[in-house]
Structure formats: C-alpha cells, structure tokens
Amino acid sequence: MSDLIRMTATAIVDGLTRGAITPLDCLDALESRVAEVDGAVNALPTRCFDRARNHARMLMAKPLEERGPLAGLPVPIKDLTDVAGVRSTQGSPIFKDRIAPASDLLVRHLEAHGGVVYAMSNTPEFGAGANTFNEVFGRTLNPWNTSRSAAGSSGGAAVALATGMAWVAHGSDLGGSLRNPASFCGVVGMRPSPGRVAATPGTRIDSTLGVEGPMARNVEDLALLFDAMVGEEAADPISLPSDGTSYLKAARSGWKPKRVAISRDLGLPPVDREVADIVMRAAGKLEAEGVIVEEAHPDLHEAYDCAQTLRALSYANMRPLLEAHRDLLKPEVIWNIEKGISLTGAEIARAETQRAAMFARMRQFFETYDLLLCPTTIVAPYPVEQRYVAECDGVKFGTYVDWLTIVSAITLTCSPAISIPCGFTRENLPVGLQIVAPGRGEARLLAGARFVEQVLGLGAITPIDPRAGK
C-alpha cells in the first residue's frame, strides 16, 4: 500500500486502466495513509470511505474501457463544494452539522468521468483568507514544518497531496486559493480560465472571478485531472465546450517557450527578498536551456483597488448570513461583507473599467511573450498562529487580503496561471513559481510548466511525512 501512495497519478490510472489495481486498492491505501499522518496536519477532517467504496464497486461493474478517464482514481473535494450525503460545512459554525442533499455540478461531472470522492479537504470559513483554519475543524498545518501555515483557501487539498493522502485534488481560486497553498506545500495548483471547469452557479450566474481547478504533485498529474474536469454543462451558463484538446498530451508535448518575461513583483510590491531571489534564479536556469528571458510585466497598477472592490462585491450576497449569524462569523468575513454592501455604483463601475483595461493590456503583453513568470506568494510559509500576513519587507498591510495582490491581479485578467515548486528557503520551506499564459491558453501553460518543472528538477519532491517544527 505504501508503494501505491508514492506512485504518480498517471501511473495509478495506468494501473487502473489495465486492471492491475482496483479503485478499492487505492481507497485502502489512502485510508491507511490518512490514519497514519492526518492527525499531524488536519487536512481531511471529513471522510466518506463507505460512500467511496460503494461508488467504486458500481464503477468496477463496468468494463475497464467504460470507467472514464480517471478509471476510479480517488479525489478529495474542497469543503466549499457539496457532495451528496456528506457533511459539507464551508468551514463555518453556521453549517457545522449540514449534510449536503445533492452534489455540486462539478462533483457529478468528476464522478461521471471516473473520479471517486473519499474526503472533504479543510478550508477557511467560506474560503476567506489564505490561511486554512476554521472554528469547525481547526487549523491545517504545513507538512514541511507543522508550525507553519499551509496557506489557503485550498490548504487541506495541498497538504493532502504533499503528505500522500491524495494523488490529485480539487480546489478553487478567487484570489489565489489554488496557487498559494500549492506554493506553501511544494505541490502544483492551476487556476484555469473562467468557464473551463463547470460548477453549480452561486447567486451570480456569470461570475468570472472564482473558478474551480485541479491540484496535484506534478504537472502531468494535474493535467490528467484537468482533462476529467473540463467540458460544457448546461447548468453552468459560462461553461465552455471541450475542443478535444488533451491537456495531458499538451503537458507531454515537449513544447519549449522561446521568450518569457519574469518579474520580481509584477510591479506590485512588496515581495520578500529571499523569495524573489529564488524565483529570479530560475531565470538563469531557463536561459541556460536557450530560452530568451527578459525582466518585464504588464501594467497592472490598478490591481489592488480593483481586486478589493470586486472581491467585496462577491461577498455582498452574504448579507442575510451576516444579519442572522453575525456572532458566528469570523471578523475577516464580517469586514468583507460590510465592505461589499456599502459599495456604491460608481465604485463598482470604476473597478469593472479597471479590470477591462488590465485584461486588454495582458492580452497585448502576450503578443511579445510566450509566458509570464513571477513569485506565486510574496512570503514563505509563516507561523500558523498568524491569521494572515500583516507585513512584508517593511510594508504593513491594512486588511487580510492586501498581501495577495500578486495572485489576485492575475485573477482579474482572466489568464490561466499555475504554481509549481521553484526552490527552498534557508529554513527549507517551499517557494512557488507562478506561471501565467494568455487567456484560454491552458495547453501552452501546461506544456510550459512541464518544461520549467523539468529544468528546475523539482517535479518529484512529494509526498513527505509531516515534519515537526518550531
């Protein structure tokens, strides 16, 4: 069973497809690994192995060739997304005992493509904030040093991957929630273009800020899961039809970028100097492979104000929860809701205009460069007791999301972006490299990320056993 845990997802699916292993073998291996390590990190607080085995047996009743592209590969779902019959809390005391009556569209799509859901991964309350803790399940700890944050909001998913409690994982991203935990935990997380992955709409049916996406231990495994996630669903009005692209084949294509841009901070300081230096050293390794690397970035100077406004707008629909359960909401969520409901029409219009301008400038930028590289997160993993990063390189932040601008800026441009491992700090903590491609350019992004992953030689650094730290 321990041998299975250390295999790649692509190798597991190959075994499942050939009948060399079964989905039940995979679930047995995961249940054993969860029992062994999750007590030290608290990544998968809700498990549903009985449901998973029932689903696996139904899948196994089908011929091998009819079990879908995942062929029975187990997948944990982030605890913001409903799974029928499973405790689904959104990390909030308000919903701490809620059992989901039906599965989200994303879960139904994954299960139809051969995925087997066996757990819910931990998340901050309503996904708010890049440190995974809540009043229902407590803190999720970084396995590289259990005194540090795993980031968020897909922190449970990232930790499950890093510790071998998952081969692939579902996550979601509005202001970096896939990318930040991937950076902190030494795994891979991709924010796709809006519409690539269908999901049940919330109160706004045409939102392009929050997206669902894949996480894994390496780029190929992520592309495998992404292939099973993409596709049009009529219940999601912005979902895009599949054009037949195999993203796993794209990742394996051997494509090499000719010219890339790299930036220490996207013109949106601050960034911790050690983190920036680790990322910039990657440029030299790419140049040694014949890639033209230039320091450049698009003009994203409006990103801070724009992101603050549009994020707050997305929280305004939570006003009924604020009025009914204010005493159960964490202060950061209260602040975001109140900011959202106080916005004026002029403020919203200004933010939308700013976003349109940044979108246009990003598209123009990619007429010159194949890819854009920069730090994923402005700091290395910080003490888990800190609710959020309050200061970096002498700059103090006023809110719990100020320090996330380097990822939320990319969100605003609708560009797909991926975080891959880039190196380690002097304290042996992971640092992520954010790679950005033109809108709807996931095939290019995954091919480029696989190339950079090979150049950096960090595609197989997990799974690890949790490491205690001070």
Whole-angstrom distance, CA of residue 230 vs CA of residue 149: 30
246 among known catalytic residues: no
What whole-number percentage of the chain has pLDDT above 70? 100
- Burial label, 398 (beta-carbon count in 10 A; 0-12, 13-18, 19+): exposed
Whether the predicted pLDDT of 237 surpasses 80: yes
Q: At what angle do helices 331-341 and 303-315 cross, to 10 degrees?
A: 100
For 433, residues 6+ apart whose C-beta sits below 8 A from its C-beta are 279, 282, 373, 374, 375, 376, 419, 420, 421, 422, 452, 456
Catalytic-role residue among 78, 121, 149, 419: 78
Whether the predicted pLDDT of 343 surpasses 90: yes
- 4 vs 35, 170, 275, 425, CA distance in Å? 16, 20, 33, 30
**177-225 confidence digits (pLDDT tens):** 999 999 999 999 999 999 999 999 988 899 999 999 999 999 999 999 9
pLDDT band at 1 (very low <50, low <70, confident <90, very high): low
pLDDT band at 398 (very low <50, low <70, confident <90, very high): very high
**373-385 confidence digits (pLDDT tens):** 999 999 999 999 9
pLDDT band at 333 (very low <50, low <70, confident <90, very high): very high
**258-291 confidence digits (pLDDT tens):** 999 999 999 999 999 999 999 999 999 999 999 9
Catalytic-role residue among 88, 92, 103, 153: 153
The DSSP string of 44-73 is: --EE-HHHHHHHHHHHHTS-GGGS-TTTT-
153 among known catalytic residues: yes
In 3-state terms, what secondary structure has residue 467? coil
Catalytic-role residue among 172, 177, 193, 239: 177
For 455, residues 6+ apart whose C-beta sits below 8 A from its C-beta are 282, 285, 286, 289
Question: What pLDDT, on the 0 to 100 scale, is given for residue 130?
Answer: 97
pTM over 0.85: yes
Query: Kind and range of the H or E element at 423?
Result: strand 417-424
211-216 and 188-191 beta bridge pairing: antiparallel
Question: What pLDDT, on the 0 to 100 scale, is given for residue 470?
Answer: 73
Question: What pLDDT, on the 0 to 100 scale, is given for residue 61?
Answer: 98
What whole-number percentage of the chain has pLDDT above 90? 99
**34-72 confidence digits (pLDDT tens):** 999 999 999 999 999 999 999 999 999 999 999 999 999
Question: What pLDDT, on the 0 to 100 scale, is given for residue 38?
Answer: 98
**131-143 confidence digits (pLDDT tens):** 999 999 999 999 9
Which domains, ranges and CATH numbers included, belong to the chain?
Answer: 2-456 (3.90.1300.10)
Whole-angstrom distance, CA of residue 20 vs CA of residue 315: 48
Residue (of 177, 150, 176) closest to 165 by Cα position: 150
CB atoms within 10 A of CB 270: 20
Q: Are 310 and 204 in contact (CB under 8 A)?
A: no
Residue (of 375, 373, 356) closest to 432 by Cα position: 375
Question: What pLDDT, on the 0 to 100 scale, is given for residue 2?
Answer: 74
Question: What pLDDT, on the 0 to 100 scale, is given for residue 469?
Answer: 85
78 among known catalytic residues: yes
Mean pLDDT throughout 89-93? 98
